[in-house]
Structure 1
Amino acid sequence: MSIKKGYSLVELLVVLSILFLIIGYCGIKCNKFKEVYSNSIEVDFSNNYILHMLQNSSLYCKNENKSGRLDFGFDNRVKFYCDEKLIKVYEIPKEFKFVNADLFNCNININNLGVIYTACRISYKDKKEKLHDITIRVGSHYVKVK
């Protein structure tokens, strides 16, 4: 009597079904992980992006020795003007929405020395409708993210 070395069809199907169950379980867990952490990652990105936008606009005005302004539209866009000439348009993620806070005419003014002289609070809602605030102090380049 000869002994066959190898796997039978039933053994192969059992091993493949176990592998597919493990792969499916890992796929579901990875998807839930992405859902949980993607919002917090995008909030951090948006906070840093707004701070970057404020700093770059301030430096541009200082280097050009011209005054400028940041115009916050409610279409997720922020337009930077220097001497009423459009310089750059910034966008935050589509799922986020600026909400009307205490922005004076939705503008932040910057003088020719690069100093922000509009004290305000920039507020936006994330995907989960949670409100986030960025507070700007006049003349000190102090910005607080809440």
Structure 2
Amino acid sequence: MEDAKLNAILERHGRDPANLLAILQDIQKEENYLPREELEKVSKELSVPITRIFGLATFFKAFSLKPRGKHICTVCMGTACHVRGAPRLVEQVEREFSVKAGETTPDRKLTLETVNCVGACALGPLVILDGEYHGNMNAAKLEKVITEVKKG
């Protein structure tokens, strides 16, 4: 991340340590993960121990310390989605992108994740791509989503 972008984030939050969580959220939004270098800069700029920053970053599942893809594909594996074919959808994405659940493609185009339940059981099986919910997913619909990801 460019220093100017990080400075803008810090300024937006008043360089106040009380806003650390919001600062981390903004960095994650920009980079799709929390780069160690940026966390060290935040630690220095806010005079907050790096251990406190890592404590927050590892406590919340929404944060990632590992590089993630430009696109985040999340497949719900809750009971309703599972019995309606979610495991096959995971396998389809794994095949198409040569990646396993929990991994990111080497070109950082896509990260494949699974979650236990998103609470939208009536829509299952559910795939979330970059925050957009795709319900009643099947292999044909997923193929269209995959094609779009590969284009962009």
Q: Which has the larger radius of gyration?
A: 1
What TM-score comes out, normalization by structure 1 length?
0.25
What TM-score comes out, normalization by structure 2 length?
0.25
More helix by share: 2
Structure of greater relative contact order (alpha carbons < 8 Å, 6+ residues apart): 2
More strand by share: 1
